[in-house]
């Protein structure tokens, strides 16, 4: 009878083992920088602060990729390459699902554990996440009142100031629709892109026409549904964040100075693409 042995798997002849003179896994990934970028400030160091830091840093790394892909999607839309834009959006949706799922790790931080080191955080808060703001801006939730928060960080300020002045992914999508001959209102095509998006009622009939006859523009119809997926996924992240906040600090005031849960709740009422929601009221009405 074959017995199970703990044993040791022999290394194959061809496996490389000498990286004294060439790039290896750690040097390619810059692991010396990445794995030495966690600096707990609690003294003595609290066991759970590493979790708190890594949860944020992994989210920020994923947000860096989200921004990279949304910039690419916007560029592909500007080049009328809708399918290539949708491939970038599809990747973003998977990233969003990943960062939403990882809330389950932070949810293992109990209120008592968090209270033991929350004090060392000072006024720092995720409210000051410039990559989160950048993703909100490129999707259309622009707010120039956010920029002063980043006066002390020129790189962050310039990133957000740039995105504030650029068209959003939705602008690029609607301009593509106009180039395809759809009656996108001029007020949209000529809008001040530094402003937050507000619903344009005259756009709804254009989208209703597509939703009532998808065969007239299947790729546009699919793109609309993908944008709604993107918004849903963003809201799911906001909701998981809100639930995590509620379970760790209840209804305390936030370190960033907000009312906390009630302030976060109001973000759930926002929508990046209001007309794509309103069209659902019209279809089948």
Ligand X SMILES: N[C@@H](CC(=O)c1ccccc1NC=O)C(=O)O
Per CB under 6 A, the list member of 59, 100, 235, 255 interacting with ligand X is 255
Residue 256 binds ligand X (CB under 6 A): yes
| Residue 120 C-beta-side C-alpha neighbours within 13 Å | 15
Residue 209 binds ligand X (CB under 6 A): no
What minimum distance in Å lies between the beta carbon of 72 and ligand HEM?
22
Residue 246 partner contact from ligand X, ligand HEM, none using kind-dependent CB cut-offs of 5 to 8 Å:
none
Residues 105 and 51: beta-carbon distance below 8 Å: yes
Residue 59 binds ligand HEM (CB under 6 A): yes
**Interaction mask 225-254, ligand HEM, x per CB under 6 A:** ----------------x--xx--xx----x
Residue 125 binds ligand X (CB under 6 A): yes
Q: At CB < 8 A and 24+ separation, what contacts does 236-240 make?
A: 236/96, 236/100, 237/96, 237/99, 237/100, 237/103, 238/264, 238/267, 238/268, 239/268, 240/100, 240/103
Helices (H), the chain: 25-29, 31-34, 49-78, 82-101, 103-106, 111-115, 130-139, 154-165, 169-179, 186-189, 204-212, 218-249, 261-267, 274-282
| Region near ligand HEM per CB under 6 A, out of 69-77, 120-128, 137-145, 165-173 | 120-128
Residue 168 binds ligand HEM (CB under 6 A): no
- State the Cα–Cα distance between residues 199 and 273, nearest whole angstrom: 8
Residue 131 binds ligand X (CB under 6 A): no
Per CB under 6 A, the list member of 82, 223, 233, 264 interacting with ligand HEM is 264
What minimum distance in Å lies between the beta carbon of 239 and ligand X?
15
Residues 217 and 224: beta-carbon distance below 8 Å: no
Question: Which residues 6+ apart lie within 8 Å of 34 measured at CB?
Answer: none
Sites for ligand X among residues 25-84 (CB under 6 A): 56
Residue 247 binds ligand X (CB under 6 A): no
Residue 270 binds ligand X (CB under 6 A): no
Binding site per annotation, positions for substrate: 52-56, 114, 118, 255
User: Would you tell me which residues interact with ligand X (CB under 6 A)?
Assistant: 56, 118, 121, 124-126, 249, 254-256
Binding site per annotation, positions for heme: 241
């Amino acid at each position: 009878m074959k017995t199970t042995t703990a044993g040791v798997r022999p290394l194959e002849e061809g496996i490389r083992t000498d990286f004294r003179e060439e790039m290896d896994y750690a040097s390619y990934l810059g692991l010396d920088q990445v794995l030495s970028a966690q600096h707990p400030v609690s003294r003595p160091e609290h066991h759970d602060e590493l979790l708190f830091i890594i949860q944020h840093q992994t989210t920020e790394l994923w947000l860096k990729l989200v921004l990279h892909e949304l910039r690419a999607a916007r560029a592909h839309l500007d080049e009328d390459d809708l399918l290539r834009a949708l491939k970038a959006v599809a990747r973003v949706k998977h990233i969003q699902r990943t960062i939403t799922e990882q809330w389950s790790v932070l949810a293992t931080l109990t209120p008592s554990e968090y209270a033991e080191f929350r004090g060392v955080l000072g006024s720092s808060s995720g409210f000051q996440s410039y990559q989160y703001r950048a993703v909100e801006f490129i999707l259309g939730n622009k707010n120039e009142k956010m920029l002063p928060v980043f006066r002390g960080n020129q790189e962050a300020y310039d990133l957000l100031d740039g995105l504030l002045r650029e068209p959003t992914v939705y602008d690029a999508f609607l301009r593509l629709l106009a180039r395809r001959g759809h009656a996108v209102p001029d007020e949209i095509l000529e809008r001040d892109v530094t402003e937050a998006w507000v619903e344009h009622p005259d756009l709804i009939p254009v989208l209703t026409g597509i939703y009532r006859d998808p065969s007239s523009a299947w790729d546009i119809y699919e793109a609309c549904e993908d944008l709604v997926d993107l918004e849903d996924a963003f809201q799911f992240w906001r909701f998981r964040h809100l639930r995590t906040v509620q379970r760790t600090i209840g209804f305390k005031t936030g370190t960033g100075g907000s009312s906390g849960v009630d302030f976060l709740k109001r973000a759930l009422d926002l929508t990046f693409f209001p007309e794509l929601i309103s069209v659902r009221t019209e279809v089948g009405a």
